[in-house]
Amino acid sequence: MKTDSPAAPASEQIPASEQRPSAGKRRPAFRKAFVFAIVVAAAATGYWQFGEALSLESLAAREAELRVAKAEAVLVALAVGFVVYVAVTGLSLPGAAVLTLASGWFFGVWQGTLLVSFASTTGATLAFLFSRYLFRDAMRQRFGGRLAGFNEALEREGPFYLFTLRMIPAVPFFVINLVMGLTPIRTRTFWWVSQLGMLPGTAAYCYAGAAVPSLGTLAEEGLGGILSAKTLVAFAILGAFPIVVKKTMAWARARRSST
């Protein structure tokens, strides 16, 4: 007669509570992979469907239609412009500079600047949060040494480090969003510093776009179509602004420490 094998000692039995963490660890990884797939699919679909439609040539071909749409329902046009800009910047799609120039031409300097300022910051914050949720843990493990330089700069200069990056045109917009998501900077700090840091550049681009008589001219002549004495002065001021601010803040700190 076959006898049952003796039960394993209590010390060798694995409690159910200790078996859960492995499954629990898999769930966040699965959720992140799922969210990542959705973001990639949305970005690919958006670029495939609307990438060509947001080019200067395509917008110039619909110039008359755009003017009519604005005249009939300006609030709807503002809402659509806001959503499109947030989608482009939030998904890190190319075309933000073109949209900024077109917004200045379409809505004028003040409305265009207001629209792009809040839309670009909203999109940048979404890209920042995507990066933080999806990549920060993995990137810290793999590139912790390289990220240490950014973290040290943030600790040393505070929010002004991000402000300076926002003011430098050579640093791509989407790179700042993604890299800052890997740092410990707070979301609300990222938002308000980005809002202030991008405002001068937004105003300069919208000013340049508003100075263009038509999108057809801009599409044909490229950036040469926006160059004038006034726009050159605006971009010169934009380039000098972060230097002036940095020196002013250094002078204020020195004076505060001496008193």
Q: 221-246, pLDDT tens digit by residue? A: 655 556 566 666 666 666 666 667 66
**Residue-level pLDDT at 184:** 83
Q: 89-115, pLDDT tens digit by residue? A: 888 887 788 888 888 888 989 999 999
Where does the pLDDT of residue 189 fall: very low under 50, low under 70, confident under 90, or very high at 90 and above? very high
More confident of the two residues 112 and 254: 112
Least confident stretch, 26-40, 112-126, 196-210:
26-40
Nearest to 191 by CA among 100, 242, 126, 96: 126
Nearest to 125 by CA among 195, 78, 172: 195
Least confident stretch, 14-18, 64-68, 93-97:
14-18
The answer to whether 207 touches 138, Cβ cutoff 8 Å, is no
pTM, to two decimals: 0.71
Where does the pLDDT of residue 117 fall: very low under 50, low under 70, confident under 90, or very high at 90 and above? very high
The torsion region of residue 227 among left (phi > 0), alpha (psi -120 to 50) and beta comes to beta
**Residue-level pLDDT at 22:** 52
Tokens representing 78? 């503002």
**CA atoms of 168 and 162, how far apart (whole Å):** 10
The answer to whether 70 touches 64, Cβ cutoff 8 Å, is no
Highest mean pLDDT among 132-136, 152-156, 200-204: 200-204
Q: What angle in degrees, to the nearest 10, is found between the helix axes of 173-180 and 74-90?
A: 60
